Chain A
Amino acid sequence: MTFFLITSALKVFVVVNLILVGVALLTLVERRVCAWMQDRLGPNRVGPQGLLQPAADGLKNFLKEETSPAMADKALFILAPVVSFVPAMLTFGVIPFAAPLPTRWGIVPMVVADLPVGFLYILAISSLGVYGIVLAGWASNNKYALLGGLRASAQMISYEIALGMSTVAVLLLAGNVTLSQVIAQQQRGLWFVIPLTLAFVIFFVSALAETNRLPFDLPEAEGELIAGYHTEYSSMKFSMFYIAEYSNMVTASALMATLFFGGWDIPFTTWDSTGDPSVVKTLATLIVFGAKTFAFLFTYIWVRWTLPRFRYDQLMALGWKVLLPLTLLYITVLATAIWFLRIRLGWEYGKLMAGALGGLNLVLLIALLWWLDRGRIVSGSVAQEAA
């Protein structure tokens, strides 16, 4: 018990600090990648290659004046950044980030809390983040902030459905919501991205919307709403929204890596998941997990500096008219296929079943792309002519 408490406390400390440092570095990565994509160099003055830029930014935010709008609802105004910051920090807790670490006193699983409810916990807690944004928009007593908060609530609730539905596919295949079990199942066969390609695509798009990143950054929409829900915030309160946004990104990327890309599993080898745990294995899997997460983070940034923002009605149309029916249809097809393979043919999840489902997904994906390419799901400024 003591061992459990001590290791848990240590893990919480390490993970929270790693996320904060990761978020700080991510802001730098974001700015530099953005600059490179625009043929610039980006911030490279503070420290080697600009590595201390986040520290300078943080210091600046601590020292800046804290403004408080005269007509704002003081209590909610102060509460809002906390409400958005805390869930962002909490969600990473259930994601396993490496193979178990052996110590002299016992084996330490490399996850803060391997909850049986697994990714349901992430869905539940990350939904709380929207309260922070809506409260911020409301409490600021500012038109733009309120519009940003409204958009945020509509957007996050709409895309949460598609996001949750796409994880149902993972549940069907893994038979468990505990993330360590999801990873174990993927180690048995292939990564879920192959048998569940479409679910991954839907999850990725919804995750972009859930974290308020371009092309779905309507709550912020600096061209239309100044800065959206955090217009009235300054100093460290603003910084907390910023950290919350980026740590949500980190969690979403880590979750994508865990659900669809095998988590800390090293591809093309069973060395990491079989045999006795060792320190080398823990480190190697940690690096692999970090690389997978970073790949998704890079994609986030890449998408942000490529695509323009959706219009509000386009956003809603995509969420409700395309993604939601698509996931429901997909789950039906997938459940039927899994039922057929597992019950009628008696297969267990392995490479063969993953491959068969992968084939099905490939067909579905091609059909979807063919349809997306022709049917203009995102209508232009003019409604399509009635036929």
Chain B
Amino acid sequence: MAIGVKVMKRPTQQTSYLRATLKGMALTFSHLLRPKVTMQYPEEKSSKDWTLSSRWRGTHRMLTDEQGRAKCVACGLCPQICPANCIKLVPGEDEEGHRYPLIYEIDEFRCIFCGYCQEVCPEEAIHVGVHYENSEYSRDRFVYDLERLTAQTHPVSTLWDPSDPKGE
């Protein structure tokens, strides 16, 4: 093999292949009987060691007021701040001068889940949610309209709080 490489003299118990082999065999056998760490995903979504963080930024959710209308006042801040340009908002106005969204669509494919829309929203209407299972059979189903956004029921993200950076 390699030429001129110095070999350290070590005690037998450190260099014995026999002992190392037996030690390894004992170790693997002990692991055979230990409790397993696998979480059986579709049935089990969290365990005592692991749950989804409350700061998780996932599928959006639009909160509603007492009458069941979206809290959104169509101020236009969220499409303005959205870095991925995934929010489509067409504002409307009723007879009393209240603004509301005529069209409010979020493209979940374009969204990068930064959570800026939730941070910027003055009415606490649009939120990112603690939810990640949004698979569909067609691509166009990933554009969530206002109806679908208000119909979501998962908990909303708490986001990162600068006054409490460690979440305590």
A→B interface (CB under 8 Å): 33, 35-41, 302-303, 305-307, 313, 369, 372-374, 376-385
Q: Assess the A373–B18 pair: CB atoms within 8 A.
A: yes
A370 to chain B, nearest CB (A): 10
List chain B residues, Cβ under 8 A from A40: 36-38
Q: How far is B25's CA from A382's CA once the two chains are assembled, in angstroms?
A: 26
Q: Assess the A36–B1 pair: CB atoms within 8 A.
A: no
Q: Assess the A382–B7 pair: CB atoms within 8 A.
A: yes
- Given A38-B31, A307-B24, A385-B7, A373–B19 Cβ distance below 8 Å? yes
A373 contact from B1, B16, B25, B35, Cβ within 8 A: B16
Q: How far is B148's CA from A198's CA once the two chains are assembled, in angstroms?
A: 74
Contacts A40-B38, A373-B18, A382-B1 supplied; 9 other A-B pairs, CB < 8 Å: A33-B32, A37-B32, A39-B34, A306-B24, A306-B25, A313-B1, A372-B17, A374-B12, A374-B16
Q: Assess the B1–A376 pair: CB atoms within 8 A.
A: no
B137 contacts partner chain A, Cβ-Cβ < 8 Å: no
Q: Assess the A382–B17 pair: CB atoms within 8 A.
A: no
A interface footprint on B6-18 (CB within 8 Å = 1, 0 otherwise): 0100001001111
Look across to chain A and name the residue whose beta carbon is closest to the beta carbon of B34.
Answer: A39
B25 contact from A36, A41, A303, Cβ within 8 A: A303
- Given A372-B18, A373-B12, A36–B36 Cβ distance below 8 Å? yes
- Given A33-B32, A36-B31, A303-B25, A382–B2 Cβ distance below 8 Å? yes
Look across to chain A and name the residue whose beta carbon is closest to the beta carbon of B15.
Answer: A376
Q: Assess the B19–A302 pair: CB atoms within 8 A.
A: no
- Given A376-B15, A382-B5, A305–B37 Cβ distance below 8 Å? no
- Chain B residues touching A, range: 20 to 34
- Given A373-B12, A382-B1, A37–B28 Cβ distance below 8 Å? yes
A41 contact from B12, B31, B40, Cβ within 8 A: B40
Q: How far is B40's CA from A37's CA once the two chains are assembled, in angstroms?
A: 18
Look across to chain A and name the residue whose beta carbon is closest to the beta carbon of B25.
Answer: A306
List chain A residues, Cβ under 8 A from B29: 37, 302
- Given A307-B24, A383-B1, A41–B7 Cβ distance below 8 Å? no
Q: How far is B157's CA from A82's CA once the two chains are assembled, in angstroms?
A: 60
Look across to chain A and name the residue whose beta carbon is closest to the beta carbon of B30.
Answer: A37
B21 contacts partner chain A, Cβ-Cβ < 8 Å: yes
A37 contact from B5, B18, B31, Cβ within 8 A: B31
Most chain A CB neighbours (cut-off 10 Å) among B16, B17, B21, B28: B28
Q: How far is B30's CA from A36's CA once the two chains are assembled, in angstroms?
A: 10
List chain B residues, Cβ under 8 A from A374: 12, 16
A-B complex: 8 closest residue pairs judged by Cβ atoms: A41-B38, A306-B28, A306-B24, A37-B28, A382-B5, A373-B16, A36-B32, A373-B18
Q: Assess the B28–A305 pair: CB atoms within 8 A.
A: yes
List chain B residues, Cβ under 8 A from A380: 7
Chain B, 116-149, CB within 8 A of any chain A CB: none
- Given A36-B36, A376-B17, A385-B7, A302–B28 Cβ distance below 8 Å? yes
List chain A residues, Cβ under 8 A from B1: 313, 379, 381-383
Chain B, 149-164, CB within 8 A of any chain A CB: none
Q: How far is B38's CA from A313's CA once the two chains are assembled, in angstroms?
A: 39
Q: How far is B12's CA from A238's CA once the two chains are assembled, in angstroms?
A: 44
List chain B residues, Cβ under 8 A from A33: 32
List chain B residues, Cβ under 8 A from A376: 15, 17
List chain B residues, Cβ under 8 A from A377: 17
